[in-house]
Structure 1
């Protein structure tokens, strides 16, 4: 695969060439029809929504993404003469039970012409049919369940590879790179965690020694830990999110299953500092994870410096992907695609460099370029290990 960094160019720069600019916009949580005071090429109050967890146990992932969206919007708005775009957040708390109501709010707010999100696969399964019926485009920076692209939705797009690429890559990394032969697979029963774990199971074949399932919100994993010990596994793959993943890792290590006895491998949903916090830095050391996302520090252009300046911290998981997703929508608005119908058509034919990759979609909304990376916890920080070639 060609280097994504060499292909990437500042996505913001593309927007600058397409439109002149103005003052910086801020968050907008209001709803209602777009006012009639704006020009036809720039309606007053035009907005991009962000749909994902901003509070709740998985909020870190959503905040990372919304920061990327807001950075793209702020840079767009700062250009002289730019159509001023607002950000409307929809906090799902990562709970798919809230997704239907939130999606209906999106549809009912005529100012919102496009969505970055939904962030999670479970909420995407609920919200995307509603967006499809209303004709409002959604570009997810992180929902990876492969089945999302198989529903015939015309408004569904994502800027990263799905779990049909991550699952085989994770299995290959565990067996070929780590050399593990007895893998215990655990999922959290969510649309995302179980879906990915099932793909890993299939690709491990006879090297999978046992399965188990936990629940979101679970804190006591003693029965699972005992079963892992009894199985003789040399590695664990956990499909799920960082709150449960971190506690599971902590309890495995406290039971005497040290990193040299049992490799702990997890996924992009657990690729967050929250995993280190929940497990404790010492227990988390050496933990591994896979993600169909570019290492944030490898993003192209000035993204890393701009993000760090804006938020006082380096970009984290999916910040760059969310920036790319927002930039696609902003470039469309800059070209006068300010209705939901026109912006959807614009996204379908999009083909420009972003900060993570060349941004182009097939007829199912999947990206034209895919990569999967392995990461590890080192010195309490999550750092890139290597790109995985799953072919």
Structure 2
């Protein structure tokens, strides 16, 4: 997922100091055969929008990662790990500085994130130069795996799976005859719209775009209503999608509003309001976090007093992969990168088997796409969309 395309402007000279990996304090442990040492006070980074209009999508991921580390520390009180957060506010133009700060902290040995595609395009070259492993729980733009970044890994499917699934849902579940497609021109939105349009073919009777931070959509609404479309696919984020939907309903459009994972958050429900958002569809290249395996759902609700949001279970699993590596004595960035290259285990929460291809893409056999429906003020699992 997010933001407008941003060119990376240098800012990586500092990484030469840290490319060799991370250092940490060493703690000796007595063993029957002598002594062994392990690294303590290591950090896992988390990179994404923790404030601003898109925080509703990212906060559950951070909570999932925090929960994993809390449980790990409870079992390893003598050698704890911490989470270091980097709040991008969902803005790609902040990502370069944050990424540079992250790689300069030599105790950070792995990154959960970035959460959005636009910020990933800026941060990942910096991470790659510094050999800082990165696993995104939610960035879905396909081209992220085509840049040759050795440290890049994706914990979910990309838009080559989500886009066709959206088209399938519109055609086979909604059985629409006329669809309108709008995107927000972000790295995420434009790519997802392109993939959905390929699958929809002649059902697309109109397209348009909105700009970042737009709050008035009269021109787009007029085109949608005139077109006669019964379905509008919006490829973008809640910040613009929520007011757009409210204005569509106020103008009398009664069709089905469908978006990708960029609107699958609590803010879309609350800002649009239950009356206007009811029946809206949001897809996700993930399963329902509220149906996660093991004790994840119970533990999450006990800690945060809410059901886990989208991608919370994925971030929990990804943080646990880093923690497993640390527990196994992999305490440098290079060691953890090597650990990821051969990893092949199911996550305790999502049930997904995390196994990566050479370009960092998740094994295609593990990719699933679900549709969620806004129902009585919550996102309710609707159906797993069959693979094409």
Q: TM-score, normalised by structure 2?
A: 0.89
Aligned to 2:368: 371
Residue 305, structure 1, aligned to residue 298, structure 2: yes
> In the TM superposition, what whole-angstrom CA distance separates every residue of 1:322-369 from its partner, at most 9, and x where no partner exists?
101101101000000000000110011111110211111111111121
Cα distance, 1:359–1:37 mapped onto 2, change above 3 Å: closer
Offset at residue 82 of structure 1 (A):
5.9
Offset at residue 152 of structure 1 (A):
1.2
- Within a 5 Å distance, the mapping from 1:217-256 to structure 2 comes to 217-256=213-252
Offset at residue 377 of structure 1 (A):
0.6
Offset at residue 80 of structure 1 (A):
4.3
Give secondary structure in 2 for the equivalent of 1:42. strand
Offset at residue 34 of structure 1 (A):
4.5
Q: Is the 8 A contact 1:41 1:338 kept in 2?
A: no
Q: Distance between the aligned counterparts of 1:157 and 1:165, measured in 2? A: 16
Q: CA RMSD in A?
A: 1.3
Residue 273, structure 1, aligned to residue 270, structure 2: no
Cα distance, 1:360–1:305 mapped onto 2, change above 3 Å: same
> In the TM superposition, what whole-angstrom CA distance separates every residue of 1:191-223 from its partner, at most 9, and x where no partner exists?
001110111111111110111000121100111
Q: Distance between the aligned counterparts of 2:27 and 2:194, measured in 1? A: 50
Q: Distance between the aligned counterparts of 2:344 and 2:304, measured in 1? A: 29
Give secondary structure in 1 for the equivalent of 2:39. coil
Match 1:216 to one of 212, 217, 230: 212
> In the TM superposition, what whole-angstrom CA distance separates every residue of 1:261-296 from its partner, at most 9, and x where no partner exists?
x11111101011211222111000101111101101
Q: Is the 8 A contact 2:39 2:329 kept in 1?
A: no
- Within a 5 Å distance, the mapping from 1:192-207 to structure 2 comes to 192-207=188-203
Residue 347, structure 1, aligned to residue 340, structure 2: yes
Q: Distance between the aligned counterparts of 1:233 and 1:339, measured in 2? A: 54
Q: TM-score, normalised by structure 1?
A: 0.89
Aligned to 1:105: 101
Q: Distance between the aligned counterparts of 2:326 and 2:247, measured in 1? A: 49
Q: Is the 8 A contact 1:76 1:82 kept in 2?
A: no
Residue 380, structure 1, aligned to residue 373, structure 2: no
Q: Is the 8 A contact 2:157 2:285 kept in 1?
A: yes
Q: Distance between the aligned counterparts of 1:81 and 1:226, measured in 2? A: 60
Q: Distance between the aligned counterparts of 2:301 and 2:241, measured in 1? A: 27
Offset at residue 320 of structure 1 (A):
0.5
Q: Is the 8 A contact 2:176 2:231 kept in 1?
A: yes
Give secondary structure in 1 for the equivalent of 2:229. coil
Q: Distance between the aligned counterparts of 1:233 and 1:82, measured in 2? A: 61
5+ long unaligned stretches in structure 2 = 1-21, 29-35
> In the TM superposition, what whole-angstrom CA distance separates every residue of 1:31-82 from its partner, at most 9, and x where no partner exists?
xx85545458533421000000111111112211110000000011110466
